[in-house]
Structure 1
Amino acid sequence: MRSRTILIVDDEPRSREGMKKILEVWAAGHYEILTASNGISAMEILEEIPVELMISDIRMPGISGLSLVSQIRDKKIQRQPSVILISGHAEFEYAQQAIQLSVVEYLLKPASREKLITSVENALKAGEEQEHIGFMRKMADPQLMAIRDEDAALSDPVRQAIDYVEMHIEEAISLQEVAGLVHLNGSYFSSLFKEQCQMNFSEYVARRKLQKAKELLLKTNLPIAEIASLTGYQTVKYFNKLFKEYEGMSPGQYRSSMRNGTEANIQ
C-alpha cells in the first residue's frame, strides 16, 4: 500500500513550516507532509508522487495557486488531489475561480490551527467520496445499472428473482430453481425476465456474479481461484473464460490494470 501524502505549497517559509508542524502532529504518522516553495516544485512532486491533498497559497511569484490548480486539472498526473487554497486577501474573484476549479476549501490567512485541521479533514473526506464514486462508476456494468434504475417498473416476480441472486451470489443459480421460488413456470419466467430486463436470466446472473468478482479482485488480495468459488463457479477455468468474454481480459489482468490506475489505493 502506498503512503498517503499531503502537499503544502507556500512561498513564505514561516507559513509553510507552521502548517507542516501543525499537520504532522495531527497526522501522527498516518500522512506524510511534504512542502514546496513554489508552483514549479509542486508540479514536480505531483508528477512523481500521488498526493491526496494539496494546500496552496494563492499569491506566489511565478505560478499562482490558482494557475497551479488549473495546470493540475489539465494534466494526467497519478492522482488528482483535493485542494485547499489559502489567501491573505478576501477577494471574491479568487473564491469564484476556486469554485470553478473544484477547490474543496478556501481559507483566509492567518488560519487558526483548529480551522486548518477541520478544513483538511473535510477535504480528505470529500476526496475519498469522489474517488469512491469514480471507482464505482468505472467498475460498474452499465446494463446492470440500467436494470437498477428501472427497479420501480419491475414486476414482483422479477424483483424477487433479482433479490434471490443478490442473496445467493456465491451459489450456482438455475432458472428453473428461481422460477419455482417465484411460483412461475420456467418458460413464462424466462420471457418475463427478458422482457423487463432486456437480457435473459442466465446473462443477468453471469453479469452480477462478474460484478461481484470485480469488487473482490480490487478490494481484496484473495487468489483468483477463491474469488471464482465465492461467486459460485466450480472451476477457475470456466470463471476465467467467462470473465474474459465479458471484460476482454483475464481476472488477473483486470486486477493489475485497475490497481495501476487511479484506483491503486483500494484495499
Structure 2
Amino acid sequence: MYKLVIVDDDEWIREGMRRNIPWEREKIQVVGVAEDGKMAWDLIQKVKPDILLSDIQMPFMNGLQLAETIKAHGLDTKVIFLTGYDDFSFAKQALQLQASDYILKYEDNNKILQSVVNAANRLHTERKVVLKEKKSQGLIINQFFSDLIAGVGNDDTIERDSQLLEVSFCGNTFAMGSIDMGSVTRYLKPNKPEDMELLLFSMKNLCTEVIESEEIENCQVQVIQYNHRINLLFNFTEAISDDWRLVVERVSRTMIESINQYLKITVNIGVGSFGEGFRHIALSYEEALIALQMKGIFATQDVIFTDQVKQSNSSHHAIIKIITDYIDVHYANEDLDLKEVAEKVHITPSYVSTLFKKYNDVNFSDYVIRVRMKKAKELLIHSTLKAYEIAESVGYPNTQYFSVTFKKYTGLTPMEYRQNHRQ
C-alpha cells in the first residue's frame, strides 16, 4: 500500500476526493488530510506519505512552498499539484520543483486516481534503483575495507579511494577484531551456501545496530564481511592512548550479547594488536585469527586479545598441536604443503614455519616427510601392500620418488626395510 495525503483548503473538494475515489482498489491508502500547507507539513513529518495530492493556493503555506520544504528535507514523497486555475506560471514552478504531475482539481476522479497511480509506479521504480545503488555502494565499501585487511594498496591509493567513497578515518591507529561462530557451521547444509550468507548478513546487521546505538568515544568501528567471517575494524583518535582495550572489550561484549540474544549463537571475538598506519590492519587481523585459535586455552573468555596469546607459551604449543594433528590426518594428500595448513588454522605460512623451527627443531617439510616415512615403515612391516600402494597411501604417487626418499631417510630401500624387519 502507498500512503497518500490530500491537502486542500476547500473541505468539499478535500473530503470528496478522500471518499469518492476508489483508492484502495489501486493499493493507495489515504493516511490523512489537511486544510493548509502548515498543517500538511506537520502531518507529513508524522505519517511520512509516499504521495502528496496538494492544492497550490492555500493559506499560511501554499502548495509550492510545501513542495520546497519536502524537497529541502530530502524526502522522496511524490507531489501532485491541484489547482482551480489553468495557470502556466504555476505549471512552470511545479516543473522546477520536479512535481510528479499538475492537474485541475475539477478533473474526472478517474484521471486524478490515474495520476496518483502513475506517481506510485514511478516512486516504486525509483526506490528500486536507489536500493540497488545502496547495495552496490555497500558492496564497494565492504570491498574497500576487505582490501585493507588483505594488505592491498598503499597510503596514496587508500587515501584516493576513501575520498571517492566518502569514507573517513578519525585517526591513524587501528586494531582488528574477528568473530568466530564456533561449531554453528556444522549445522548448516553444505549444499546451501545461501544459509551461511544469510547468517553472516544477519550478524553484520546486528553488529552495525550495536555500533549505531552505542556511544563510542574516540573510536570508529567498521563491520566488514571478509574471509567468510564478520570482522571489526577499530579506528582510534589520538586521544584514545591506553584506553583502547577498554573500548574494544566493551563494544565486543555488547555484540556478543546481541548475537546470542537474537541469533541464539555463542561466539568469540579475537582481537589483534593496536598500531599505527593502514599497514598495521593486515597484521592485526592475522593476530586476531591467531587469538581465536587459542579460545580452547582461554575457555572462560569470550574476547581474547593477541597479547594474551603472545605471553603464553602454552598457546604456542597449542597451535603446534593443531598443525601436527592436521598433518597426522592429511599426510596422504600429495599436495599437502605449508600454505594449505596455514589456511586451515588461519595463520600465515611464515608464522607456521617460525613456530615449527622454534618448538619442533625441524622445518615443516621435514616434519611431513617424517610422518609419511613413519607410516610407510608401519605399512611395510604390518601389511601386505605392494610398494606402489604404500607410496600412494602416504602421499607419493610417484613410486620411484618414494623409494629414493625412503632410502635417503632410512638408508634402505622399501623392500630391504620390509625384509630386514620381518625376519
Contact 2:23 2:29 in 1 (8 A): no
**Segments of 4+ moved more than 2 angstroms:** 28-32, 141-144, 228-242, 244-248
Residue in 2 that maps onto 1:183: none
Contact 2:2 2:51 in 1 (8 A): no
1:133 aligns with 2:129: yes
1:26 aligns with 2:17: no
Q: 2:77 aligns with which of 63, 81, 85?
A: 81
Q: 1:99 aligns with which of 87, 95, 112?
A: 95
Identity of aligned residues (%): 24
Task: Give the residue type in structure 2 aligned to 1:44.
Answer: D
Q: Which of 1 and 2 has greater Rg?
A: 2
Distance 1:247 1:29 in 2: 47
- TM-score (normalised: structure 2): 0.35
Aligned CA distance change for structure 1 residues 58 and 245 (closer, same or farther; 3 Å): same
Distance 1:96 1:246 in 2: 51
Q: 2:104 aligns with which of 104, 108, 120?
A: 108
Distance 1:46 1:109 in 2: 21
Aligned CA distance change for structure 1 residues 99 and 242 (closer, same or farther; 3 Å): same
Contact 1:51 1:80 in 2 (8 A): no
Distance 1:69 1:61 in 2: 14
Which one has more relative contact order, counting CA pairs under 8 Å at least 6 apart? Answer: 1
Q: What are the ranges of 5 or more consecutive residues in structure 1 without an aligned counterpart? A: 145-224, 254-267
SS for the counterpart of 1:140 is: helix
Q: 2:11 aligns with which of 6, 10, 13?
A: 13
Q: What are the ranges of 5 or more consecutive residues in structure 2 without an aligned counterpart? A: 141-186, 205-222, 235-254, 260-423
Task: Give the residue type in structure 2 aligned to 1:26.
Answer: W
SS for the counterpart of 2:127 is: helix
Deviation sequence 1:75-122 (CA, Å, 0-9, x none): 25xx53111101111222211111111111100131111211110110
Distance 2:36 2:199 in 1: 53
Aligned CA distance change for structure 1 residues 96 and 245 (closer, same or farther; 3 Å): farther
Distance 2:79 2:25 in 1: 21
Aligned CA distance change for structure 1 residues 37 and 246 (closer, same or farther; 3 Å): same
Contact 1:56 1:84 in 2 (8 A): yes
- TM-score (normalised: structure 1): 0.53
SS for the counterpart of 1:61 is: coil
Contact 1:9 1:39 in 2 (8 A): yes
Distance 2:99 2:41 in 1: 17
Q: 2:113 aligns with which of 111, 117, 121?
A: 117
